[in-house]
Copies of this chain bind each other. A is one copy, B any other.
Amino acid sequence: MRNKIKTIAFDADDTLWVNELYFKEAEGRFCALLEDYLPPQSAYQELFNTEMKNLPLYGYGIKGVILCMIETITRVTNGTAQLQLINQTLEMGHELLQKPIELLPGVKETLEQLYGKYQLVMATKGDLLDQERKLKLSGLQDYFHHIEIMSNKQVANYQRLLKQLDCSPQNFLMLGNSVKSDVLPVLALEAFAGHIPYHTTWMHEQHHDKVEHPNLITLGNIADIINHLD
């Protein structure tokens, strides 16, 4: 691998900076809002069902999650909830959209070492404006040759990205925390993937089967990639 890679793409949420923890916290507050109606685990399951139903329309990102929370409140309370619950949910959305950016350990140092040697790309899902905001706050913007905010991370999305970068799959390495989004579609294209597991993963992104593939490396943390390249 080390001789071939020219372009390294980084997932953003939970690869470069903390993200899922903020969602988990918001989900906890959402379940607490509904405590008079449902046990927390059921409230979470109802929310997840709403999210999966609306994913083809809403796509990924905070605004869609908040709309799904509101829809779930109206459904599980049979329209009897106080409007106050809706307000508190909107408020949570505003807070999520203003969370500080906390870089994960080793991120800045790793980008610093790779910068100039490889074409560095950020490739992430989510709300367009929100991801731009986070990138700006991260201070990492200048390391990246290209920023791609994608509506999804399936094989066709990566194909378009590679075409746009004019990069052949065998010269492309994707690093990220999601086997489903950052690893499997990349391996399907015969490009390289580096999986950096994060301690918490959204149910929708979970992948339980072990993946083994000659083009896949698993990293303890982002800085480990240096040893695989040098």
Binding site for B on A (CB under 8 A): 54, 57-59, 61, 63-64, 66-67, 70-71, 73-74, 77, 79-84, 86-87, 90, 93-94, 97-98, 127-130, 132, 146, 149-152, 164
Contacts and interface: CB of A to CB of B under 8 A. Distances in A.
B70 A86 contact: yes
Given A58-B129, A84-B79, A128-B151, A63 B67 contact: yes
Given A67-B90, A90-B67, A79 B82 contact: yes
A83 B84 contact: no
Q: Which 6 A-B pairs have the closest CB atoms?
A: A59-B129, A63-B63, A129-B151, A79-B83, A57-B97, A128-B151
B90 A74 contact: yes
A57 to B, nearest CB: 5
- What number of copies of this chain does the assembly contain? 2
A64 B64 CA distance: 9
Given A57-B94, A59-B128, A128-B128, 13 more contacts: A57-B98, A58-B63, A59-B127, A61-B63, A63-B63, A70-B86, A74-B83, A74-B87, A79-B82, A79-B83, A79-B87, A128-B149, A128-B150
18 contacts: A57-B94, A58-B63, A58-B129, A59-B129, A59-B130, A61-B63, A67-B90, A70-B70, A70-B86, A73-B83, A74-B83, A79-B82, A79-B83, A81-B83, A83-B83, A83-B86, A86-B86, A128-B150
